[in-house]
Amino acid sequence: MKNIIATFIGAVVLLTATPAAAACPSLLNHSVPQLQDDKPQSLCQYAGKVILVVNTASKCGFTGQYDGLEAIYDKYKDRGLVVIGFPSNDFGGQEPGSNKEIADFCRLTYSIKFPMMAKTDIAAPKTHPFYKQLIEKSNTRPKWNFHKYLIDRSGTQVESYSSLTEPDSSRLIAHIERLLAEKP
């Protein structure tokens, strides 16, 4: 009788857990530490949003793109866009600081309000699993800092944009607007 009750209770737990798990696309089923306090953040919280993922660096020639990233985040966040920054020291050693130093730089220099995650390995061989999936889905590996991945609301389609693509480029903005117009 105890085994039957345990099995029944287990089945109820499984049934109640399944819908929540199904709501998060496998691409977003990752937890990463937040830059400001290293607290784990589930990327599932962004399910249903259009997501622009960017690997960042504080000492790069493209660092000025922070202004454009913050501007498009501010302009489109209420329509469902989230920009997520992933600082990385993998390209040219241009992000040597600690998470606290990076957070202070982003806040004080560029007034960044979009989510920033802790320093992350982007390049092989230590590529973070989330980035491995982005690379696989887009067939494009970042070659430098400020490479961008645009993810649709379903978390299934990923488009890649090189570091040379400015955040306010007409092609990127048109793609963001097209994805925002699609209902989740």
Determine the Cα–Cα distance for residues 119 and 168; give it in Å rounded to an integer.
25
pTM to 2 decimals?
0.88
The answer to whether the CB of 43 falls within 8 A of the CB of 129 is: no
Residue 5: pLDDT band with limits 50, 70, 90: very low
Selected catalytic residue, list 24, 44, 60, 106: 60
pLDDT digits (tens, 9 = 90+) for 100-153: 999 999 999 999 999 999 999 999 999 999 999 999 999 999 999 999 999 999
Q: Is position 60 annotated as part of the catalytic site?
A: yes
123 class by beta-carbon count within 10 Å (0-12 exposed, 13-18 middle, 19+ buried): middle
Query: Which CATH number, 3.40.50.2000, 3.40.50.2300, 3.40.50.300, 3.40.30.10, labels domain 25-181?
Result: 3.40.30.10
pLDDT digits (tens, 9 = 90+) for 62-71: 999 999 999 9
34-72-23-184 Cα dihedral, nearest 10 degrees = 180
Structure tokens at 11: 């089945």
Determine the Cα–Cα distance for residues 92 and 59; give it in Å rounded to an integer.
9
Determine the Cα–Cα distance for residues 9 and 67; give it in Å rounded to an integer.
52
Other CB atoms within 10 Å distance of the CB of residue 67: 15
